Structures are given as C-alpha cells and as structure tokens.
C-alpha cells in the first residue's frame, strides 16, 4: 500500500511540522508556512510573518505580527527583530517585544519591552520597559522603566524610573525616580526622587526629592528636600529642607530648613532654621526664625521669633535675639531686642526687658549691670 494514502498524509505533515518546531534549525529562514510564507501558521524560523508562529529558537528574524511561541532564547543575531502581539516561551526575546509577553523563566529584549510582561524570574531590556511588568526576581532596563513595575527582589533602570514600582528589596535608578515607589529595603535615585516613596530601610537621591518620603531608617538627598519626610532615624539634605520633616533622631540640612520640623534628638541647619521646630535635645542654625522648642538648648547667631528651651537659649558672639526667649539660662552674647524670661538672663546689649532671678546686662552702668527680678537697657 502507498504511504500517500489519505490516512498517512496528515501524519507525514504533522511529523514534518513537529520536527521543524522542536529541532534546532541550521538555516536562518527554514520554515514550513501555511498557507503562505508571509501569513497564516508557521513552523520554524520564518523571518517575516503574520499569524501563529512556532519555533525552537529565533535567528535573524525581521518581524512577527501575531503569536510567537519559542522554546529557547533567541540568538544574538536576532537583536533587530520586532515582535508585536503575543510572545510566549521559556525565554522570549528579540529586539523589541510589544504586546503580551509571558516568559517561563525570563523575558529579554535588546531594545524595548512594551505592554504586559510576566516572567517567573526576570525581565530585562536594553533601552525601555513600558507597561505592566511583573517578575518573580528582578526587572531592569538600561534606559527607561515606566508603568506598573513589580519585582520580587528589585527593580532598576539606567535612566528614568516612573509610575508605580514595587520591589521586595530595592528600587534604583541612574536618573530620576517618579511616582509611587515602595521597597522592602531601599530606594535610590541618581537624579531626583519625585512622588510617594516608602522604603523599609532608606530612601535617597543624589539631587532633589519632592513629595512624600517614608523610610524606616533614613531619608537623604544631595540637594533640596521638599514635602513630607518621615524617618525612624534621620532626615537630611545637602541643600535645603522645605515642608514637614519628622525623624526619630535628627533632621539636618547643609543650607536651610523651613516648615514644621521635629527631631527626636536634634534639628540643625547650616544657614537658616525657620518655621515650627521641635527637638528633644537641641536645635540650631546660623539664623533661627519662627517658633523653636528644644529640651536642652536653642542656639544661633541670629534668633528671631519665639525660642523655648529647658536649658539655655544662646546667641553667639555679636549675634542678635529679637522678640521672645524663655529658658533656665538666656545667654545672649550680642544684642537682645525683646523679652527674655529665665532663672538667669544675660545680654551684652539690651533693648527690651529681662525677667528672672538674676538679670545681667553687660553694657549697663556698673551698678545696673546685675539686678534681681528684672533689668532693662539703661545705657
């Protein structure tokens, strides 16, 4: 009996098709295409196809529009391919993957991954990951990552990272990090940190941070920190802090602090400390303005506003205190313009009133320098 009976022909066709799909192919464009070499169903390494395509491992592919199913990662020569539609396999990849990507182990693209991407281990792209991306371990791009990004361990981008980003350990970007970002350990940006940031350990930016930043240990930026910042240990900025800042230990800025600032131990600014400030031990700056309260001391060269401390309010040499201060010892080594109340009040020059047990005005006449109950500037 001939092997080309109606019962044998389908078996031959399917055997041939299966061999094209399962076995690695030596030719770069060897395939069985039904009904055409450009559309329909393709078994093998068709280079430009629309429809359902099944191949062991892609090589030198131009484009696929439709469903592309592969068993193994593509060859390096496949870096210019463009897959649009549904990509499925152990390690689907190519130049650009656009649409729905499902990877048994991972997903990798030399240029772009766009759309919905799901992988058991990792997702990576040389230039851009965009859309909804979920990876069991990590997700990363040499360029931009934008959209909803979830990595079991980490999410990283060489450029901008934006959207909603969640990671079990860390989130990092060589550029800006923008949007809603949450990580079990830390979040870092080589540029700006913008939006809502929540980290179990620390959050930081090489430049500025704007929005809500919460970290179990610390929040720090190299430039300006604006918004609401909450940290279990410390909040710091190399430039200025503007907004509401709360830290279990301390808040500090190399330049200015303005707003509502609360530090469990201390609050300090290299230039100006302004607004409402509360510190467990001490608060200080070259210029201190507004309402400042500290458990032990408030200090600065220029104090303007209301200063309250259990220990001392201190103005350094040739400084100035204006309006009101109250502490056990008000030590004004300069000009006092206003009212001071304490057990001991000292001022070099006084244009105002001292109320306390001992009141000292150094520039007063000798017999008026030290008075009980009150003193004024008699000179």
pLDDT band of residue 2 (cuts 50, 70, 90) is very low
Please, what is the Cα angle at 29 between 62 and 92, to 5 degrees?
Answer: 55
Do 162 and 181 form a contact (C-beta atoms < 8 A)?
no
Dihedral sign for Cα atoms in the order 218, 219, 221, 226: negative
pLDDT of 79 reads 87
DSSP single-letter state for residue 238: S
Residue 29 banded pLDDT, cuts 50, 70, 90: low
**111 belongs to a structural domain:** yes
CA dist 62 and 94 (Å) reads: 10
Q: Assess if residue 91 is contained within a domain.
A: yes
pLDDT given at position 6: 42
Average pLDDT over residues 152-159: 97
Q: Is the pLDDT of residue 216 over 50?
A: yes
pLDDT at 51: 97
pLDDT-derived band at 116, boundaries 50, 70, 90: very high
65 vs 377 pLDDT, higher one: 65
- Please check the confidence at residue 248 and state whether its pLDDT lies above 60: yes
Question: What's the rounded mean pLDDT across residues 41-56?
Answer: 96
Residue 180 within a domain: no
Is 34 inside a domain boundary?
yes
What is residue 378's predicted lDDT score, i.e. its pLDDT? 82
User: Token pair for residue 357?
Assistant: 């047990």
Under the banding of pLDDT at 50, 70 and 90, the label for residue 22 is very low
Residue 222: CA atoms inside 13 Å, Cβ hemisphere, count?
8
Cis peptide before 362 (omega within 30 of 0): no
pLDDT given for residue 15 in this prediction: 43
Hey, what's the torsion of the CAs at 74, 78, 83, 89, to 10 degrees?
A: 0
Q: What is the pLDDT of residue 30?
A: 85
Whether the per-residue pLDDT at 255 is higher than 50: the answer is yes
Residue 12 lies in a domain: yes
Closest CA to 353 of 334, 373, 333: 373
* HEC letters along 60-83: CCCEEEEEEEECCCCCHHHCCCEE
Per-residue confidence band for 21, with pLDDT thresholds at 50, 70 and 90? very low
**Residue 92 confidence (pLDDT) above 90:** yes
Binned at pLDDT 50, 70 and 90, residue 13 comes out as very low
Are residues 127 and 113 in contact, defined by beta-carbon separation less than 8 angstroms?
Answer: no
Segment 120-139 shows an average pLDDT of: 97
Instruction: Categorize the per-residue pLDDT at 143 as very low, low, confident or very high, splitting at 50, 70 and 90.
Output: very high
The pLDDT-based confidence of 263 (bands split at 50, 70, 90) is very high
**In angstroms, rounded to a whole number, what is the distance separating the alpha carbons of residues 181 and 208?**
16
pTM of the model: 0.85
Q: Is residue 303 part of a domain?
A: no
- How does pLDDT run across 265-302, given as a tens digit for each residue? 999 999 999 999 999 999 999 999 999 999 999 999 99
Q: What integer pLDDT is reported at residue 5 of this predicted model?
A: 40
Assess if residue 232 is contained within a domain.
no
What is residue 34's predicted lDDT score, i.e. its pLDDT? Answer: 95
- Residue 10: give the domain boundaries: 1-120
Contact indicator for 251, 261 with CB cutoff of 8 Å: yes
Question: What pLDDT does residue 18 have?
Answer: 46
Percentage with pLDDT > 70 across the chain: 92
Quick check: 31 pLDDT over 80?
yes
State how many domains the chain has.
1
In the beta sheet, which residues pair with residue 164?
Answer: 148, 180
Residue 370 is predicted with a pLDDT of: 97
Q: Considering the domain boundaries, does residue 22 fall inside one?
A: yes
- CA distances 334 to 111, 286, 296, 319, 347, Å, are 66, 14, 21, 5, 6
């Amino acid at each position: 009996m001939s092997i080309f009976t109606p019962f044998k022909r389908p078996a031959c066709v399917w055997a041939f098709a299966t061999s094209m799909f399962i076995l690695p192919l030596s030719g770069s464009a060897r395939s069985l295409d039904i009904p055409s070499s450009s559309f329909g169903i393709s078994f093998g390494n068709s280079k430009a196809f629309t429809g359902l395509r099944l191949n062991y491992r892609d090589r030198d592919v131009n484009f696929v529009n439709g469903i592309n199913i592969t068993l193994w990662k593509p060859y390096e020569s496949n870096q210019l391919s463009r897959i649009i539609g549904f990509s499925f396999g152990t390690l689907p990849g190519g130049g650009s993957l656009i649409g729905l990507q499902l990877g048994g182990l991972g997903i990798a693209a030399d240029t772009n991954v766009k759309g919905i991407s799901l992988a058991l281990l990792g997702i990576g792209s040389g230039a851009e990951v965009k859309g909804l991306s979920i990876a069991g371990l990590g997700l990363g791009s040499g360029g931009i990552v934008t959209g909803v990004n979830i990595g079991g361990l980490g999410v990283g981008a060489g450029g901008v990272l934006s959207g909603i980003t969640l990671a079990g350990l860390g989130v990092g970007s060589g550029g800006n990090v923008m949007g809603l970002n949450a990580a079990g350990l830390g979040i870092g940006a080589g540029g700006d940190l913008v939006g809502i940031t929540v980290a179990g350990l620390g959050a930081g930016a090489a430049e500025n941070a704007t929005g809500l930043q919460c970290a179990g240990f610390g929040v720090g930026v190299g430039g300006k920190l604006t918004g609401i910042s909450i940290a279990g240990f410390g909040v710091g900025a190399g430039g200025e802090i503007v907004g509401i800042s709360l830290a279990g230990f301390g808040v500090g800025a190399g330049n200015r602090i303005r707003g509502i600032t609360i530090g469990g131990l201390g609050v300090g600014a290299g230039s100006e400390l302004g607004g409402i400030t509360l510190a467990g031990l001490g608060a200080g700056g070259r210029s201190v303005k507004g309402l400042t309260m500290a458990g032990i001391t408030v200090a600065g060269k220029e104090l303007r506003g209301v200063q309250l401390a259990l220990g001392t309010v201190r103005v350094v040499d040739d400084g100035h205190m204006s309006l009101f201060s109250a502490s056990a010892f008000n030590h004004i080594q300069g000009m006092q313009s206003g009212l001071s109340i304490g057990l001991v009040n000292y001022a070099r020059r006084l244009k105002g009133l001292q109320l306390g047990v001992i009141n000292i005005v150094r520039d007063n006449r000798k017999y008026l320098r030290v008075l009980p109950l009150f003193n004024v500037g008699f000179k």
